[in-house]
Amino acid sequence: MSESIFKKIKIGIVGGSGYAGGELLRLLLSHPHAEIMFITSEKFSGELVSLVHPNLRILCNLRFISLENIKDVDVIFVSLPNGISMQHMSFLKEKAKRIIDLGADFRLDKEEDWEFWYAKEHKKPAWLKKFVYGLPELNREKIRGSKYIAGPGCEATVSLLTLFPVVAERLIKPSPVIIDAKMSSSQSGKKFSLASHHPERAGSVRSYAPSGHRHTAEIEMMLKPYLENLRVDISATAIDMVRGILVTIHSFLKPGVEEKDIWRAYRKYYHKEKFIRIVKQKRGIYRYPEPKVVMGTNFCDIGFEIDKRSRRLILIGAIDNLTRGTAGQAVQSMNILYGLDESLGLEFPGLHPV
């Protein structure tokens, strides 16, 4: 029986002034077993949370505090820039029984991989083995028994969920697997730059990472155990959208694989999953996954098409990068840790039109 039946889960949020922190707060405010004890921001310490997150006016009367003033809680969610949370982990572990890190610092299990993809020294390499990769549909049992959860990257989330069944069943060739990712502006975080300046970003379809995308490492780390010699390549394009990611993944079927095998794979792994929807319709304007349909939700919509001429399998996945790709699955992981229904705090069905 869950301990949260008898008491609230006391929660702290470290780094709460960014988009991910605000989204996390939005979700936890409606969670029946969550009690938010503090939310930190060095820049806005002492200010009302609603000053930074105006959608939470009246709903949240907390004020930001400094990290040095946090109290002991059950769970700390960490939402800090890459390379920062590792600097505070020794302090944070003394303040909470469990830690869920939404950032990149502990996603990879090998120090050399992290340093290659992030081009900087890892300050706490011994901690990499302590963290469990927090993608519930692929890692549920490991999450259940862990104290430390590393939230996946948003692009890695949608790509992994979309690819996993066909990789696990070895329906595709290990190479090439090419991910064409269309990324919204909130994916790059709240810190502004010339690239995010409105006259430069508005109306753009900008190829900003045609190769070398960091989330390649996460995808290969999770999928290579299922398909030897798997090679994933990502091309990322910034588009004029605030929320959402759409991935179009190009792979090639192994000989003898038919459409029914693709259906069978997705049903095998996802038929009980509350947040996975297979979208492949013959009618309507949303016949395949579309990011605007999942905005604000924890859903991952997945579709596919087979090019019969070339035996190319085109996989299509859509998520909201801030919810499913970041804060939503962090809350889902917390629910798993405490033996709760995974959908608590995540029931929002989305809006249409938006």
User: How high is the pLDDT of residue 5?
Assistant: 53
User: How high is the pLDDT of residue 4?
Assistant: 43
**CA distance linking residue 216 with residue 118, whole number of Å:** 12
Residues paired with 149 in a beta bridge: 100, 132
For the chain, the structural domain boundaries read: 3-130, 155-321
- CATH 1.10.760.10 corresponds to the domain 155-321: no
**154 assigned to active site:** yes
**What are the b/e assignments for 147-167, b being 16+ CB within 10 Å?**
ebbbbbbbbbbbbbbbbbbbb
* 24-40 pLDDT tens trace: 999 999 999 999 999 99
User: How high is the pLDDT of residue 197?
Assistant: 84
- CATH 3.40.50.720 corresponds to the domain 3-130: yes
**CA distance linking residue 113 with residue 131, whole number of Å:** 15
Residues of the chain under the 50 pLDDT cut: 1-4
User: How high is the pLDDT of residue 3?
Assistant: 46
pTM: 0.96
User: How high is the pLDDT of residue 196?
Assistant: 84
Task: With beta carbons less than 8 A apart as the criterion, state whether 324 and 157 touch.
Answer: yes
Looking up tokens 């949020």 gives 13
Q: Which of 56, 67, 154, 217 is catalytic?
A: 154
Q: Which two tokens stand for residue 107?
A: 């996603």
User: How high is the pLDDT of residue 6?
Assistant: 54
